[in-house]
Amino acid sequence: MEYQILKTEISDGIAVVTISRPKAMNALNTRFFNEMDSLVAEINANNDVRVMIITGEGKAFVAGADIAEMVDKGSEAGKAFSRLGQNTFSSFGKMSIPVIAAINGFALGGGLELAMGCDFRIASTKAKFGQPEVSLGLIPGYAGTQRLPRLVGMGDALYLLMTADMIGAEDALRIGLAQKVVEPEELMETATKVAGTIASKGPEAIKKLKKIVRDGVNTSQIKGEELEAEEFGSLFGEGKQGKEGMQAFLEKRKPEW
């Protein structure tokens, strides 16, 4: 597909995807979702990519769903637009590789929902977070009502959802919405460094971790522990990456994955 909104650079196993529609604060339209679905499929098929980073161009990460595109929709079309975004953001969790949001500026509405679909979030001190949908007479439609309470707890989630307050990066860090906050000029360097650290670890272990943690929170602890034991065991044995990692430690050398 020919990409107009997404710019992707791949180097050293890290794909940096920049959402680039800065005149509209990177607002999410149908074209964005089509491009992102296509890009996720391409990256899924590329075994050289070990981590994906998503960021935004200009002063916004993403300032929400495209209000101009949504305003004339009827009920069924609104529901379909909600489903479109839910599916795209869920696809980040289903990717076998980690997906990091590098939040450079406004992450509002659908933009915060996009960031919450990623595995974790690194923010610039200039980032602003919020779910302003109620100001428009709406509610979040890209799984924000479901992901926010799971990430930050019921009280902080309902506060943000009901007040539409925008919070800064330090508050986002405090409630667990961001995992790291850095100066704006250090954002991409930090995100790439974190991605590089992850990319240097056992690739199979990273993929299994993502799957077990994400599947585990949606099941019972007993089932989650069964899944963990199963996947733990699968890393042992001749030719397995766990065997190589442990052997390399004992032989005081770097593992060869």
Structure tokens at 234: 């699968």
Closest contact distance (angstroms) between CB of 205 and ligand CO8 is 35
Task: Give Cα separations from 139 to 98, 113, 142, 230 (angstroms).
Answer: 28, 12, 9, 40
Cβ distance 176 to 182 under 8 Å? no
Tell which one of 10, 95, 136, 212 touches ligand CO8 (CB under 6 A).
Answer: 136
Say how far apart CA 56 and CA 107 lie, in whole Å: 9
Closest contact distance (angstroms) between CB of 246 and ligand CO8 is 46
Footprint of ligand CO8 on residues 182-211 (CB under 6 A)?
A: none
Question: Which of 128-136, 154-162, 171-179, 207-215 is the region at the interface with ligand CO8 (rule: CB under 6 A)?
Answer: 128-136
| Residues binding ligand CO8: number (CB under 6 A) | 26
Give me the helices (H) in 108-220, please: 110-117, 144-152, 154-163, 169-175, 187-199, 203-216
Tell which one of 35, 66, 156, 204 touches ligand CO8 (CB under 6 A).
Answer: 66
User: At which residue do the structure tokens 């595109």 appear?
Assistant: 69
Query: Binding to ligand CO8 by residue 108, rule CB under 6 A?
Result: yes
What are the helix and strand counts (H, E) for the chain? 11, 10
Say how far apart CA 150 and CA 144 lie, in whole Å: 10
**What is the x/- site pattern for ligand CO8, positions 22-61, by CB under 6 A?**
--xx-x--------------------------------x-
Structure tokens at 200: 């240097």
Catalytic site includes residue 133:
yes
**What is the x/- site pattern for ligand CO8, positions 70-89, by CB under 6 A?**
x-------x--xx--x----
Closest contact distance (angstroms) between CB of 136 and ligand CO8 is 6
Tell which one of 110, 116, 152, 194 touches ligand CO8 (CB under 6 A).
Answer: 110
- The residues annotated with a catalytic role in the active site are 113, 133
